[in-house]
Structure 1
Amino acid sequence: MAEETGDDAASVRRRRLARRKAAHRAARRVLARPGHMATIGDRLALLHGTAPRLYDLDEPVDVYGAGVVTALEERVAGLLGKEAAAFFPTGTMAQQVALRCWAGRTGNPAVALHALAHPEVHERHAFSTVSGLRTVRVTSEPRPPTADEVRGLEEPFGALMLELPLREAGFVLPSWEELREVVGAARERDAVVHFDGARLWETTTHFGRPLDEIADLADSVYVSFYKSLDGFGGAALAGPRALVEEAKVWRHRYGGQVFQQFPTALSALAGLENELPRLPEYVAHARVVAAALQEGFEAAGLPWARVHPRRPHTHEFQVWLPYDVDVLTEAAVRQGEETGTLLFADTWDRGGPHVSVTEIGVRAAGLEWTADDVRAAVADFAGFLREEVARREAAEDEDAP
């Protein structure tokens, strides 16, 4: 077989994504219907129906951050128990600005973080390339960092950045006691603490604490408006008023002083109104789904199937299966196309030799699923999976000399 070129591989990925999205839109039953999978019309209709009860639409539109943007900032600061908050177009920008401001105050540009933290995995070395910061990896283990690891770092650092939850490790969280100990260890090192709280909204069930008590452990907090709240985009940085005022200056310098942002700000207010109160319900049901998935895998005889964490910390978690990405992707999409039930709606990624991983999120649509529904969907998926494995093995036999 000829080796695929970069363009060929990119075309395959685009076709696969388009097919998966089409299956998701057509499916009668999914565990989540995130906004980014919807149409433009659907998103505008949702905002049109919700916005009038969230903000006075007869007010002038925002201009460089006034009006509805200010209202959103004040709402977030209040929810997180911080003096002030600033709206940012992206979390990448918000966190670079926050840690740059802290570096100026501490005199140390080193940021201690997990090797699996978002800036290390997904931001193309932005901290060092753009913001003059230097990262120090606390650990690379697929779990939250420990207080002893923070104490044991061999060089000083100005800030400790904690991603809550740690997505790449399975949306995992420390216990409340462990989190307090890690924060305390950073204070012992004369460092400030910044929470990468893109999904902090989801953590209250696990910690058994309200948002403001969780955020109070950190000097500054970043939160996303689309990852948990299903907004159009955007983020906020919350913390001491002086830090936030400086952050707004750097926001302008980084190109984040957007002329008008009212659609995104209104969608964020809608997320705070509609999705935030439901997140504990999603977390509780995600644990039902996770347990039923594991039971379904065992009943279907799928080897080495793993749900991680076994009891999810948030409404999102991972599933690992010992098959190649292409096999799992085809089986998942065929199930959606042929049965109207799309059990695995997200991408499958390579987790090792012949091992792949996908993420599961449970939202409002998933609340309709019973444990029996999940187990039945696993049984159907296992059937499609075996068919795909058999088809590929037959094709390999035909190609063999």
Structure 2
Amino acid sequence: MTANEATPDTRARRSAAACAATRTLHRSPLHIPLTERFSALAAAAPGIVGADEASDVYGDGVVATLEERVARLLGKEAAVFFPTGTMAQQVALRCWAGRTGNATVALHPRAHPELHEGDAFTAVSGLRTVHPTDEPRLPTADEVRDFPEPFGALMLELPLRDAGFVLPTWQELEAVVEAAREREAVVHIDGARLWECTPHFGRPLTEIAGLADTVYVSFYKSLEGLSGAALAGPHTLVEEARVWLHRYGGRLFQQFPTAVSALLGLERVLPRLPDYVAHARVVAQALHEGFTAAGVAWSRVHPQRPHTHQLQVWLPYASDVLEEAALGQAEETKTFLFGRWFADGPPGLSVTEVTVTEEGLGWTADDVREAVAEFVRRLPR
């Protein structure tokens, strides 16, 4: 997704409109006042950690508790907490490069490290990347099996966010992992949003993560934590990763607010994700129906049946036109339907991402269609 920059004025308007909205499909933590977030975390902490539990120091205490919880959830021997997923994945793949003797990583060209991390794999960690496919989906088993040069690791982003939060079928995922094994490559899952993949696959987290040698998960993208990530895998690799965590500057003195917020997400948000996914499918259908009924010449809701609780909406207008319509609707009606729009693809085509969480569960299909009609009314005809 092209990262066209919004002006400071647009960002301020969007933030103010989101904070003031009385109806939204998803209320981002970024739009909750700072003091309210502090208070909520402090109020919830006694239910997550012991009242007299000591604070963490360099990764012990509540951070170690979080690591043990993640390892159990993913069915891995061990896990290590990282301040960022960017760091976690660099460390994981450079550790694997040392073990396999091959620093080449096969991944999708729209995977997060390729689009959003400033070429960190190459510039910082000495890794080289190759692309088995450039189709807007994960690679197939044949594309992995027949790729013309060797690679040490196959990295699979589940779901592939910039292609529309898309996932393969379970059978396709098994096949692509087997193809990598045939090539004696390790498999690493970029699971920043892995938590919400279980409804699509119809499998528990342990079984999904069990296909890979290592898995990275995020605590803020779906679980509404403050920040942070974890890398899970074999005990020996995790212990090596701890060494590199220190070398990369990620061994922080104290991290208890982040760790508590992550545990809170695992306790309260994780069990709700299947409900969000189910309702995202209702919302997606209603969005499609709403644009059709409003007479928009062309629109695309992608995927038509979302694989997770997130999806894309594409419209044939410039991004600034769509931004103004969305902001006008939010400011005047207090209904925040769409957030930021991005220019992507051919000129005049723009895309936005839609996320359905707790606030969205209260929307009926009729509510969505009515909001779409109000949004379209603000577009030039």
Report the TM-score, using the length of structure 2 for normalisation. Answer: 0.98
Alignment-derived partner of residue 20 in structure 2: 26
Could you tell me whether the CA contact under 8 Å between 2:158 and 2:192 is conserved in 1? yes
Could you tell me whether the CA contact under 8 Å between 2:322 and 2:341 is conserved in 1? no
1:234 aligns with 2:216: no
Could you tell me whether the CA contact under 8 Å between 2:314 and 2:349 is conserved in 1? yes
Whole-Å Cα distance in 1 between the matches of residues 121 and 217 of structure 2? 18
Kindly report which structure 2 residues correspond to 1:132-281, keeping only aligned pairs within 5 A, or say none. 132-281=126-275
Whole-Å Cα distance in 2 between the matches of residues 102 and 275 of structure 1? 32
Which structure 1 residue ranges, 5 or more long, are not aligned? 1-8, 391-401
Which structure has the bigger radius of gyration? 1
Q: CA deviation at 1:144?
A: 1.4
Q: CA deviation at 1:171?
A: 0.1
1:64 aligns with 2:58: yes
Whole-Å Cα distance in 1 between the matches of residues 230 and 319 of structure 2? 35
1:93 aligns with 2:110: no
Count of residue pairs brought into register by the alignment: 378
Could you tell me whether the CA contact under 8 Å between 1:346 and 1:360 is conserved in 2? no
Q: 2:317 corresponds to which letter in structure 1?
A: Y
Q: 1:194 corresponds to which letter in structure 2?
A: H
Which contiguous aligned blocks of 4+ residues in structure 1 show a shift greater than 3 angstroms?
Answer: 346-351
Could you tell me whether the CA contact under 8 Å between 1:80 and 1:238 is conserved in 2? yes
Q: CA deviation at 1:27?
A: 0.7
Whole-Å Cα distance in 1 between the matches of residues 280 and 61 of structure 2? 37
Which structure 2 residue ranges, 5 or more long, are not aligned? none
Q: Find the partner of 2:289 among 285, 292, 295.
A: 295
**Partner secondary structure for residue 344 of structure 1:** coil
Could you tell me whether the CA contact under 8 Å between 2:174 and 2:211 is conserved in 1? yes
**Partner secondary structure for residue 304 of structure 2:** coil
Q: CA deviation at 1:351?
A: 3.3
Q: 2:122 corresponds to which letter in structure 1?
A: S
Q: Find the partner of 2:300 among 288, 294, 306.
A: 306
Q: 1:92 corresponds to which letter in structure 2?
A: T
Post-superposition CA distance 1:12-70 (Å, at most 9, x none): 61111110010000011000012122221121122112111010132111000010000
Q: Find the partner of 1:117 among 111, 116, 122.
A: 111
Alignment-derived partner of residue 344 in structure 1: 338
Whole-Å Cα distance in 1 between the matches of residues 337 and 253 of structure 2? 41
Q: 1:161 corresponds to which letter in structure 2?
A: M
Could you tell me whether the CA contact under 8 Å between 1:328 and 1:348 is conserved in 2? no
Q: CA deviation at 1:146?
A: 0.5
Q: CA deviation at 1:262?
A: 0.1
Whole-Å Cα distance in 2 between the matches of residues 141 and 298 of structure 1? 27
Q: CA deviation at 1:239?
A: 0.2
Kindly report which structure 2 residues correspond to 1:315-394, keeping only aligned pairs within 5 A, or say none. 315-385=309-379, 389=380
Q: Find the partner of 1:49 among 43, 50, 56.
A: 43
Post-superposition CA distance 1:101-130 (Å, at most 9, x none): 000000000000001100001011000100
Whole-Å Cα distance in 2 between the matches of residues 349 and 92 of structure 1? 25
**Partner secondary structure for residue 260 of structure 2:** helix
Q: 1:88 corresponds to which letter in structure 2?
A: F
**Partner secondary structure for residue 236 of structure 1:** strand
Could you tell me whether the CA contact under 8 Å between 2:83 and 2:250 is conserved in 1? yes
* Structure (1 or 2) with the greater helix fraction: 1
Could you tell me whether the CA contact under 8 Å between 1:324 and 1:350 is conserved in 2? no
Whole-Å Cα distance in 1 between the matches of residues 30 and 71 of structure 2? 26
**Partner secondary structure for residue 352 of structure 1:** coil
Whole-Å Cα distance in 1 between the matches of residues 237 and 69 of structure 2? 18
Q: CA deviation at 1:345?
A: 2.3
